Amino acid sequence: MSRLVNAFYWSDFLYELTTEGKYYRRCCDRLRDYSREILLKRKEALKAKDAAKDYTGSFLDILLQMHLEDGSITEAEILDETVTIFAAGYDTTAALTAYCLYLLGNHRDVQVELHDEIDRIFGDDVHRPVTTDDLRSMKYLSCIIKETLRLYPSVPIMGRYIEEDMKIGNQLIPKGTMAMVLIYFLHRHPRFHKNPTSFTPDRFLSDATRPQPYAYMPFFGGPRNCIGQRFAVQEAKIVVTQLMRHFEIHSKLPEEELQLELGIVLRPSQGLEGFDTTATATSYTLYLLGHHPEAQDKVHAEIDAVFADDKQRSVTVEDIKKLKYLDCVIKESLRLYPPVPLVARNIDEDVHIGQRFAQLEEKIMLTHILRNFRVESLVPMEELQLQLEIVLRPLQGIQLRLTPRQRSSHD
């Protein structure tokens, strides 16, 4: 964001001379190198004799098949698409889900109404998978997601090149100008939205109260809007539905105290508990397993004993209970790298209701990863630099190499 507001940084030459520009270039190169490595490995796999058997129908496989069959798309174009999907489809949906849960925790009346909608659809069955028909039936959840995106658009600012000269009022904007649209402020402008700062999902229930076109653009508009918007919303709806079927949400931070960082992805500067913390704990656990192959072998053996060769079966609560050694691994990881390194309490009544859910969430993620991969850590433990904040963060990130497991009788 500093580059957007500093005219001296608009020049690629000047920007890449700065410390920030050099760091940005290293990050871009690392992401591209990683994506290129995956691309080449997958390409070789599809070129092998058993390509038909190996084909999964994933987005990457579809692009590679087009490249191999008629060359209608180049490797460079596939790499660009891969990087775009990686960058645009990860933080954005996670941020949407986190903000949605945060708002539900601050608005009990909305949460009660959502629970009623979920109960009407699922009844007392908390284990039935969520179907596409279920999602279509959840009209009120759709309004909640839309209102969340209005108040906290995952991408708060978007840029577009002006393709022809245009005038706005008396101001001429020449062709070739990069125009920045401040989605965050557009969504909160009193000219376009009644009670713009209030969380009111009901505004999306009828045409009379729904925001007018182009006053609400969480995925932008026109021919270059986000092609993944429907998938992103469905993904968020599934996560929120699954959580709300089992839990009530309580937010400890009032909305007026929430501080935001206006970046490419809109982030809470204080973090949201249950979002950064669990992701950080999972990263540290994978990092430690990558440095201790003997512990990783034991985890793999335990997972194989529970799941055998079935990589597709969903992880159940009963499966989680059987993973005793993985439980020990997570606890030891939390001992060495607690996600929240400093905790303050007024001594009254100390209760933390989220710890069991956080550990279950982490065990499920680790189980899915370790069923399919071996983990290798690329930074020695003695070189890991930590940043002591509300969430304990590694300064240089967690660098891992995931290798598909080649099962044998000894694995």
Can you give the length of the chain in residues? 411
The CB density around residue 230, as the number of other CB atoms within 10 Å, is 10
Please enumerate in sequence order all residues whose Cβ is within 8 A of that of 388, keeping only pairs 6 or more positions apart, or say none.
341, 342
Q: Which amino acid is at 153?
A: P
What is residue 53's predicted lDDT score, i.e. its pLDDT? Answer: 56
Tens-place pLDDT, residues 7-20: 777 788 888 888 88
What is residue 267's predicted lDDT score, i.e. its pLDDT? Answer: 60
Residue ranges at the known binding site for heme: 226
Ramachandran quadrant class, 234 (left: phi over 0; alpha: psi -120 to 50; beta: rest):
alpha
Residue ranges at the known binding site: 226
What is residue 275's predicted lDDT score, i.e. its pLDDT? Answer: 54
Reported for 267-272, long-range contacts at CB under 8 A and 24+ positions apart, including other chains, are 267/95, 268/98, 268/102, 270/390, 271/390, 271/391, 272/98, 272/99, 272/101, 272/102
Say which DSSP state 161 is in.
E
What is residue 266's predicted lDDT score, i.e. its pLDDT? Answer: 61
DSSP string, 182-220: EHHHHTT-TTTSSSTTS--GGGGSSTTTSPPTTS--TT-
pLDDT, greater one: 73 or 342: 73
Helices (H) and strands (E) in the chain, counts: 17, 10
Q: What's the CA gap between 300 and 295, in Å, rounded? A: 9
Does the pLDDT at position 49 exceed 60? no
Tens-place pLDDT, residues 248-297: 877 777 777 777 766 655 666 655 555 566 666 777 787 788 778 888 88
What is residue 389's predicted lDDT score, i.e. its pLDDT? Answer: 60
Highest mean pLDDT among 41-50, 261-270, 325-334: 325-334
Please enumerate in sequence order all residues whose Cβ is within 8 A of that of 72, keeping only pairs 6 or more positions apart, or say none.
66
Look at the pTM and tell me if it is higher than 0.95.
Answer: no
Does the pLDDT at position 2 exceed 90? no
Q: Which SS3 state, helix, strand or coil, does residue 19 take?
A: helix
Average pLDDT along the chain? 79
Q: How would residue 392 be classed by pLDDT, with cut points 50, 70 and 90?
A: low
Which structure tokens are listed for 98?
Answer: 């986190």
- Domains by residue range for the chain, with CATH: 2-88 (no CATH), 91-268 (1.10.630.10), 276-345+353-404 (no CATH)
- 354 within 8 A of 403, measured Cβ to Cβ: no
Percent of the chain with pLDDT over 70: 80
What is residue 383's predicted lDDT score, i.e. its pLDDT? Answer: 78
